[in-house]
């Protein structure tokens, strides 16, 4: 494995490629990457890099967003079959239907969605920015999708009426991080702090000492004055915490708290991608232009610095 990692680094240097990886990637893929982060951080990194080629170790909607935000760059996915099933739960006809029924409500879409949907939205958010952006909107009623759990979290934290679009979409990994499972882990480590992703069900979130995106959870471990933490999200985050904070203890909710799609990307596939220059993510430029405008508006409202805002 070490030999393959070394060859990947050499090839990335030779070809001038940058490797970006999500916090849920396999440990060895995280270790070989130039940058590891959450959805928002990865989008910003993709825009900031001078590299002409980006190898993106993440699921389909993340890779697509990196590609449409960077029209001049080549974005490669090491495994096109690495999909986010939740992103597939929201499609344009559903968006149109909710829009028609709620003409006065702005549509905020989660980054876990595709370019067609993003280009129809008023704003795009990530788990780290959803509540902040919605609280800034001049409307008490919001359409939000996909993910009924993040929608209910945004409603709880902003006090607004948040309608989930569609009503019953969820992440198959986080929906299984139940309150019962958290309590079972906590029986073994009663002094542990509970950290949870907002995609977890409301009963799980109620047990949490901290709720945030994958990178916010990782940072919270460094900031909270405690030794033990139960990690209410995918287990790639547990690996990252063990690497960054070796003096702290991170407990997964279960050995099976794993996103199988994120794990489809292996070192071999990253290497093959660098060697073959495949698979290039293709984007419809008209849709890309619309989606970029929505992202630009969202980043501006959040005060997020991007290469665009610095121009």
Among 120, 259, 265, 283, binds ligand SF4 (CB under 6 A): 259
| Residues pairing with 109 in the sheet | 124, 145
97 to 93, 94, 103, 114: CA distances (angstroms): 6, 5, 10, 17
89 binds ligand 13P (CB under 6 A): no
Measured from the CB atom, the residue of 53 and 213 that comes closer to ligand SF4 is 213
Contact partner, 85, from ligand 13P, ligand SF4, none, Cβ < 5-8 Å per class: ligand SF4
38 to 57, 106, 214, 240, 252: CA distances (angstroms): 12, 25, 6, 12, 18
Collect all residues with Cβ–Cβ distance below 8 Å to 92 and sequence separation of at least 6. Answer: 116, 117, 120
171 binds ligand SF4 (CB under 6 A): yes
Sites for ligand SF4 among residues 83-142 (CB under 6 A): 84-86, 112
214 binds ligand 13P (CB under 6 A): yes
Distance, in Å, from the CA atom of 231 to the CA atom of 258, rounded to the nearest integer, reads 12
Neighbours of 248 (CB within 10 A): 15
Asked whether the beta carbons of 54 and 291 are under 8 A apart, the reply is: no
Mapping DSSP to helix (H, G, I), strand (E, B) and coil, where does residue 255 land? coil
Measured from the CB atom, the residue of 146 and 283 that comes closer to ligand SF4 is 146
| Residues pairing with 232 in the sheet | 196
Distance, in Å, from the CA atom of 81 to the CA atom of 306, rounded to the nearest integer, reads 30
Among 17, 42, 44, 59, binds ligand SF4 (CB under 6 A): 59
Contact partner, 291, from ligand 13P, ligand SF4, none, Cβ < 5-8 Å per class: none
Contact partner, 126, from ligand 13P, ligand SF4, none, Cβ < 5-8 Å per class: ligand 13P
Give the per-residue contact string, 90-129, with ligand 13P (x = CB under 6 A; - = no). ----------------------x-------------xx--
43 binds ligand 13P (CB under 6 A): no
21 to 57, 140, 253, 280: CA distances (angstroms): 5, 36, 22, 17
**Total residues binding ligand SF4 (CB under 6 A):** 13
Contact partner, 127, from ligand SF4, ligand 13P, none, Cβ < 5-8 Å per class: ligand 13P
173 binds ligand SF4 (CB under 6 A): yes
Nearest approach, Cβ of residue 173 and ligand SF4 (Å) = 4
**Part in contact with ligand SF4 (CB under 6 A); list of ranges 94-102, 168-176, 203-211, 282-290:** 168-176
**Part in contact with ligand SF4 (CB under 6 A); list of ranges 9-17, 79-87, 157-165, 275-283:** 79-87
Residue recorded with tokens 């199988």: 260
DSSP string, 22-49: ETTS-HHHHHH-SEEE-HHHHHHHHHH-
238 binds ligand SF4 (CB under 6 A): no
Asked whether the beta carbons of 161 and 144 are under 8 A apart, the reply is: no
Which residues here bind ligand 13P, judged by CB under 6 A?
23, 38-39, 112, 126-127, 171, 199, 213-214
């Amino acid at each position: 494995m070490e030999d393959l990692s070394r060859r990947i680094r050499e090839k990335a240097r030779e070809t001038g490629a940058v490797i970006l990886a999500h916090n849920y990637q396999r440990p060895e893929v995280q270790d070989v990457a130039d940058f590891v982060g959450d959805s928002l951080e990865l989008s910003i990194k993709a825009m900031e890099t001078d590299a002409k080629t980006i190898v993106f170790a993440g699921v389909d909607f993340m890779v697509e967003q990196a590609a449409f935000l960077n029209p001049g760059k080549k974005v490669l996915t090491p495994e096109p079959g690495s999909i986010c099933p939740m992103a597939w739960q929201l499609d344009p006809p559903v968006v149109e239907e909710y829009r028609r029924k709620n003409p006065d409500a702005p549509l905020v879409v989660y980054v876990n969605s595709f370019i067609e949907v993003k280009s129809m939205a008023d704003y795009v958010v990530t788990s780290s920015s959803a509540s902040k952006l919605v609280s800034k909107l001049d409307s008490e009623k919001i359409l939000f999708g996909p993910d009924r759990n993040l929608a209910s979290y945004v409603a709880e934290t902003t006090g607004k009426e948040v309608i989930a679009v569609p009503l019953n979409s969820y992440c198959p990994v986080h929906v299984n991080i139940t309150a019962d499972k958290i309590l079972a882990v906590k029986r073994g480590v009663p002094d542990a702090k509970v950290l949870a992703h907002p995609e977890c069900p409301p009963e799980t979130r109620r047990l949490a000492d901290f709720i945030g995106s994958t990178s916010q959870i990782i940072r919270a471990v460094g900031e909270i004055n405690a030794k033990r933490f139960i990690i209410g999200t995918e287990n790639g985050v547990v690996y990252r915490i063990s690497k960054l904070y070796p003096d702290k203890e991170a407990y997964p909710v279960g050995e099976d708290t794993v996103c199988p799609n994120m794990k489809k990307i292996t070192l071999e596939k990253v290497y093959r991608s660098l060697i073959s220059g495949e698979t290039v993510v293709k984007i419809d430029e008209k849709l890309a232009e619309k989606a970029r405008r929505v992202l630009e508006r969202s980043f501006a409202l959040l005060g997020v610095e991007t290469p665009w805002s610095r121009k």
